[in-house]
Structure 1
């Protein structure tokens, strides 16, 4: 009897603990959206304050004068990594093509990837860039599951490389912060170690558990082979480095390349968190805040505005024309198919 009573007591304790754990879990589930919203709002206010503070101190006539003084030689050199970056990113969806084995030709995949990327970096959520990508692939007959896997692979590739590259840069060559900040580089070292460890952990998982399927919140994730993961890593890291190279050349190599890369990696995340299309104003504010003690703010902004023109606005023109061409062509094909069926 005593054994039964003790067993019943333990069962009641276990049930009570589970109930308490359930209450704790439900509390965090209810609280998480609010905590996330509060954190994002606070970060947005900090960045907004930074933008306004920096904008008030900028002599914009000096910025435009610095743009006029920019050397055509450096401008033409900066075009090369800008073109290379867009060409490389256009290959990201080829990874998804390999995984899904769909029948679209690789030039078509690259064209869709280029169009989507150009719209995404310029307008982002304003036009629903992800839905644009879905639409373009759906126009070519791909199923929803295949499209989702292509887009998911591309997004993961981009941020997987970011984790590894940012981790390595923050850990090995952290940015020297402005003297007035009175903050050491220990924080960047810790962040770099965490980011790099995460990327290396994923590579280890790919090495030892390749082609296994994991279920996460109802989604099935297939662990890729190490060789595929290394290809993702190389493509993404190269793309981020090419983007930094554009700014580095527009700054006419007055700031060390690793410092430009470090600031860009910080600025990009700030732009994503604030959720401003193209990180407009955010990237500029971060660069000025972190580098204006080494180079005049007018020269920094002149280079960044030129960067926006070269890397963001110029590719948007062929992307818009390409989107229009796809829409016209696919609509014409659909009409011909309908007419054929009626006959």
Structure 2
């Protein structure tokens, strides 16, 4: 909220809230109702017997490959926080940082960014003696790395024309290419700012933000793009073999934006709806849904269970340290 809003006269709104806030809740409820109708319609069009048959036909080798790619993806994401260690110039070891990144990512994917990305990081990093301002810097750099990598790889895929939008969609294929070009220009602007900007520091709500060096920005680009590529590789491994990897990657990138807009934890239903809508002319709906269900089990649910155990172990260790330090 800016100063103009905070100093608005009381008579502008008798409730003391902006006019749009009155409509925010009913419009949000309406939006979710529309999503429920959409998902129900989608579910009716799917041959669930085919879905279950495809799930039963998965080879152990395929599941092992998908699990291995998932492990690499989580390690890459945890490395976002390793960049943050350099960024805040605090003496933390990689053994301390990687578990925080893995736990945060698993909770983030399943329970929203507020739980995983923010609350979990604050709790775990505060136990390591990191100040709130430095935790905020690590969080900010991690978010920037994720979405900078997204912009670069999405810009390349969208502008190439590899993903064709179905007829009748509001966003045409040519418009998607335009979005890709815009993303590439924004990415180039970020790199240029990291290289040439004279002012390197800003303060937002008391939090100091330092513009990273060009070398660090390139590392952000590489890690962020690699993580999105690995996520697509997991899905590609589990979907029908006749689909091309660049196409799967492009659809994942489109579904990610849809998930952000809807604010549904784990993008539940959104991912499936986008993949079926864009790829149903390439493969059967049943095989697509089966692959995506397997993806959710391997990339979302299994890591969450592992991260929960890791978190409980961290809490138990911290509790034992507190007890041992109490004066007798």
Normalised TM-score (structure 1): 0.84
Higher helix content, 1 or 2: 1
1:247 is the counterpart of 2:235: yes
Which range is displaced more, 89-98 or 67-76? 67-76
Counterpart Cα distance in 2 of 1:153 and 1:94: 10
1:185 is the counterpart of 2:173: yes
What is the match of residue 287 of structure 1?
275
CA drift of 1:217 comes to: 5.9
Which range is displaced more, 202-211 or 38-47? 38-47
1:114 is the counterpart of 2:102: yes
The answer as to whether partners of 1:137 and 1:147 remain within 8 angstroms in 2 is yes
Larger Rg over CA atoms: 1
1:130 is the counterpart of 2:98: no
SS in 2 for 1:70: coil
Counterpart Cα distance in 1 of 2:271 and 2:152: 21
Which range is displaced more, 36-45 or 129-138? 36-45
1:78 is the counterpart of 2:66: yes
Change (3 A) 1:125 1:146: closer
The answer as to whether partners of 2:73 and 2:231 remain within 8 angstroms in 1 is yes
Which range is displaced more, 251-260 or 291-300? 251-260
Query: Structure 1 unaligned runs (5+)?
Result: 1-21
SS in 1 for 2:92: coil
- 1:64-121: CA deviations, max 9, x gaps? 1111122333322222321110111111111111111222211110011101111111
1:1-343 equivalences in 2 (<5 Å): 30=18, 44=32, 47-124=35-112, 127=115, 129-179=117-167, 181=169, 184-209=172-197, 212-216=200-204, 219-339=207-327
Normalised TM-score (structure 2): 0.87
- 1:242-283: CA deviations, max 9, x gaps? 000111111143211111111101111211221111111110
Change (3 A) 1:33 1:168: farther
The answer as to whether partners of 1:210 and 1:223 remain within 8 angstroms in 2 is no
